[in-house]
Amino acid sequence: MLEVGMKAPGFTLPDQDGNMVSLEDFKGKRVVVYFYPKDSTPGCTRQACAFAAAWGEFEKLGVPVIGISRDSSASHRKFADKNSLPFILLSDPERQAIEAFGVWQEKKMYGKVSMGIVRSTFIIGPDGTVEKAMPKVKPDTNAQEVLEYLRG
């Protein structure tokens, strides 16, 4: 998994409307990139809704939020519409960014081991390096923790 001070790997992925979005598009500003397992599941919905509820604060700070999962752009569009999500959701079915950021890992649930996305959040600084890495975040508190960090 990426750590503080490491260069964030570049990516270009389609958003919920099929538009291509690159990390490079945000050069010169801080950006929050969070990885989550699946659209419309309970934890992922709570996490996304918490970011949406705090959206005004992120806008005031001038910090965009990007959510990334393996779901399709069409799935992201439905998820965004259903939950009024105002931020970018990127589709990464080939795990380009997911693996580059190191969040595709072995997970254990109910004694069963499988590979999947570890819910993680990164704050990328204006210079493109990882300013803060937050592995294994909790869906209900992640957005507020990110805001507290950004406010200093």
Which amino acids are annotated catalytic? 44
* 3-class state of residue 140 by DSSP: coil
> What are the chain's domains?
27-151 (3.40.30.10)
Question: Is 108 a residue whose pLDDT tops 90?
Answer: no
Query: What single-letter DSSP state applies at residue 8?
Result: P
Question: Is 109 a residue whose pLDDT tops 90?
Answer: no
Q: What does the pLDDT look like over 14-67, one tens digit per residue?
A: 999 999 999 999 999 999 999 999 999 999 999 999 999 999 999 999 999 999
Average pLDDT over residues 93-113: 94
Distance CA 133, CA 123 (A): 7
Q: Is the pTM of this model over 0.85?
A: yes
- Residue bearing tokens 């570049």: 10
Distance CA 52, CA 46 (A): 10
* 3-class state of residue 35 by DSSP: strand
Distance CA 29, CA 127 (A): 8
Give the largest CA-CA distance in the chain.
44
